[in-house]
Amino acid sequence: MNIIPKAKNFKESGTINIASTFQADEKLLCCKKAFFRIVFKIYGVHLKEGEGGINLCYDETLAKDEYVIEGATVKASDKEGASSGLATMLQLMEKAEEGFTLRNTCIRQKPDKDFRAFMTDLGRQWHEFEALIGYVDLCYLNKIKYLQLHFTDDPIWTYPMDEFPRLGNDATRYTKEEIKYLVEYAEEAGVQLIPEFEGIGHSKQLIAAYPELFGNTYEEETEEVQAVTGPNMGKVDNIMCVGKPGIFENIQKMLSDIAKTFKYSKYIHIGCDEAKHENWAHCSDCKAYMERQRMDSTKKLYSHFVEKIVDMCISLGKTPIVWEGFPYEGTENISRDCVVVAWESHYQLAPELLESGFKIINAAWKPMYIVPPHHKSLQWSVTDGDWNVYKWQHFLAMSAAYPDPIIVEPTDRVLGGMLCQWECSLEEERPRVLLNLPMTADRTWNVEGFYTDEEFHAAKAKIMEMSEKLI
């Protein structure tokens, strides 16, 4: 068997030989371009249109996202099902002297979870544009539906923002043309991009480039202020000033740019974690704003700001996603259309988020975080500890998911899981991604009945060999 993700309905009888050709029902022709180019990248073969090879058929009886494979025929009722079926075909093919040898199978598959995701941190170490293309291909191959791009963080701003040209520099910023190309490329592959604009905290680049628009005006150099600005306030703060006159208009300009550029994306991720809100108590602009709003705590100010930018995303036609990290106070005012990534099990816990009406995504530190190799003890595999989308684990005592995991009852409001790469260079993250992404694919596609660790390692060779040709 050895298909990843594991196919629960699977029959196999020998192999058949097929031509290097492809034909598709008109309704599914949109899948052709991505399939042709990935076949070339993996097998070095230019497919041609015609009979005798892979045949993609429209079948309206199949459910959304579902596909059926019967020999050389893939059937689906939508683009996602068709793309998934073709991605599975890649695992069944071998290049022959003429055309391909194909394992002769009957497979019927449909994902248990829609949110099967991979996130890459572009804001700590520069990733060449080609790496983003490679990650789209890798997501396609693994049937990972969402690719989140963490475009900005304290060290680097990589996104070209039309209205704010001082953000980032040419050496470590993608061009608008590259981003437009990426958006079309991902759309053709049926991979949805999630642009992340990390706001409130992690905003050093924004404040360094435009202190007059985003920087706090500290009245005094308290210990709390110094913790982020250093002695004599010599370092740039990384928490934006949420009381600055014009702040909402400026955030709106940025979100509009992102919403327009990522025209096919359902989601925008707006960060919202790890902001040292206590500092706002020492900023004259934030204090004045709190007075006008009759707010008595910086925690409420934090939630208020999240509420406002969540609403902005919704008004732009996008579903906002935030990291777990905003405080309890004021949470009741945040739209429940906002999706929360539960990662640390510290600020807010998965059961509480569900209880209070949010939909959530599992990105539990253990095992869904990939970090630089010097953190040797943190190199988890997804199969460590029998992870599934309803289980949160951590390695630090500060987390409520340590030492015992947090487990929630199965529910549709856990949308799925996300593997996250943090702080690595492409070279550093590559071996972990190659191994953990197919595991993530299996555990999010199959909430139950996924491979055991042993089965996965026996099944991984083919997909890893193909993956190595993509990134």
What are the φ/ψ torsions at residue 241 (nearest 5 degrees)?
A: -80, 110
Q: How far is the CB of 241 from Zn ion (least distance, A)?
A: 3
The DSSP H or E segment spanning 54 is strand 54-58
User: Which string of x and - marks every residue 9-38 that binds Zn ion (by CB under 5 A)?
Assistant: ------------------------------
Q: How far is the CB of 297 from Zn ion (least distance, A)?
A: 15
Asked whether position 243 contacts Zn ion by CB under 5 A, the answer is yes
Strands (E), 276-422: 319-323, 339-342, 359-362, 369-370, 391-392, 406-407, 414-421
Residues that bind Zn ion (rule: CB under 5 A) add up to a total of 6
Closest to Zn ion by CB, 117 vs 247, is 247
Asked whether position 74 contacts Zn ion by CB under 5 A, the answer is no
User: Which string of x and - marks every residue 286-305 that binds Zn ion (by CB under 5 A)?
Assistant: x-------------------
Q: Print burial letters for 275-304: b (CB count within 10 Å at least 16), e (below 16).
A: bbbbbbbbbebbbebbeeeebebbbbbbbb
Asked whether position 285 contacts Zn ion by CB under 5 A, the answer is yes
Give the position of tokens 């036609």.
317
Residue choice 148, 205, 216, 238 for contact with Zn ion (CB under 5 A)? 216
Closest to Zn ion by CB, 58 vs 248, is 248
Closest to Zn ion by CB, 173 vs 244, is 244
Q: How far is the CB of 324 from Zn ion (least distance, A)?
A: 24
The first and second tokens of residue 366, run together, are: 């253990």
Q: How far is the CB of 166 from Zn ion (least distance, A)?
A: 20
Contact 360, 354 (CB under 8 A): yes
- Binding part of the chain for Zn ion, among 25-33, 42-50, 237-245, 351-359 by CB under 5 A, reads 237-245
Residue choice 56, 74, 275, 283 for contact with Zn ion (CB under 5 A)? 283
In the chain, the amino acid numbered 144 is I
Closest to Zn ion by CB, 105 vs 216, is 216
The first and second tokens of residue 145, run together, are: 């539906």
Residue choice 241, 354, 360, 414 for contact with Zn ion (CB under 5 A)? 241
- Binding part of the chain for Zn ion, among 282-290, 312-320, 368-376, 436-444 by CB under 5 A, reads 282-290
Helix-then-strand count for the chain, H and E? 15, 19
Q: How far is the CB of 206 from Zn ion (least distance, A)?
A: 13
- Binding part of the chain for Zn ion, among 47-55, 163-171, 241-249, 370-378 by CB under 5 A, reads 241-249
Q: Is 17 helix (H, G, I), strand (E, B) or coil?
A: strand
The first and second tokens of residue 363, run together, are: 């990105």
Closest to Zn ion by CB, 216 vs 348, is 216
Strand partners, 322: 340
Query: Closest Cα to residue 344, out of 302, 396, 383, 389?
Result: 396
Q: How far is the CB of 215 from Zn ion (least distance, A)?
A: 8
Query: Closest Cα to residue 109, out of 144, 76, 72, 73?
Result: 76
Contact 107, 10 (CB under 8 A): yes
- Binding part of the chain for Zn ion, among 18-26, 96-104, 233-241, 292-300 by CB under 5 A, reads 233-241
How many of the other CB atoms lie within 10 Å of CB of 53? 18
Closest to Zn ion by CB, 66 vs 285, is 285
CA distance 298 to 290: 8
Closest to Zn ion by CB, 182 vs 286, is 286
The DSSP H or E segment spanning 85 is helix 79-92
- Binding part of the chain for Zn ion, among 51-59, 236-244, 315-323, 431-439 by CB under 5 A, reads 236-244
Q: How far is the CB of 226 from Zn ion (least distance, A)?
A: 16
The first and second tokens of residue 271, run together, are: 């960060």
How many of the other CB atoms lie within 10 Å of CB of 186? 26
The DSSP H or E segment spanning 21 is strand 21-24
- Binding part of the chain for Zn ion, among 69-77, 115-123, 214-222, 379-387 by CB under 5 A, reads 214-222
Closest to Zn ion by CB, 57 vs 283, is 283
Residue ranges binding Zn ion (CB under 5 A): 216, 241, 243, 283, 285-286
